Amino acid sequence: MARPLVNVPARARPGEIIEIKALIAHPMETGFRTGPDGALVPRDIIHRFLCTWNGQEIFSADLFPAISANPYLAFTALATQSGTITFRWIDDQGGAQVHSVEITVA
């Protein structure tokens, strides 16, 4: 799909609440716009976003056409153990963009 941009602190203390920001380049075509030929441009949006920490889901979102192009999501997470935070964006074409970052909790 596209190159995502995520912002996660490299290290955190146990029990600390960290802020996670995730941005991805995507047109988020609503399906309500007409193209140059007057026909509706088919809908193509990211309708699902998931964030897992060592495989456990910590946050997810169902998105609708009212979300801006290049969807941006910022949320928080409770730091428990070191590991991998995985982000997954799923669009209407069935394509998924997966991105992982490492975090050290000590």
| Chain residues in the site for another protein (CB under 8 A) | 17-18, 30, 32-33, 53, 56-69, 71-78, 80
Query: Least distance from C-beta 41 to another protein, angstroms?
Result: 11
Query: Least distance from C-beta 19 to another protein, angstroms?
Result: 9
Of 102, 101, 93, the closest CA to residue 2 belongs to 93
Query: Least distance from C-beta 57 to another protein, angstroms?
Result: 7
CA distances from residue 47 to 9, 30, 33, 51, 52 in whole angstroms, order as listed: 26, 11, 18, 14, 17
Which lies closer to another protein via its Cβ, residue 58 or residue 101? 58
Q: Dihedral angle at the C-alpha atoms of 67, 70, 73, 74, nearest 10 degrees?
A: -130
Which lies closer to another protein via its Cβ, residue 4 or residue 65? 65
Q: What residue type is 79 in one-letter code? A: A
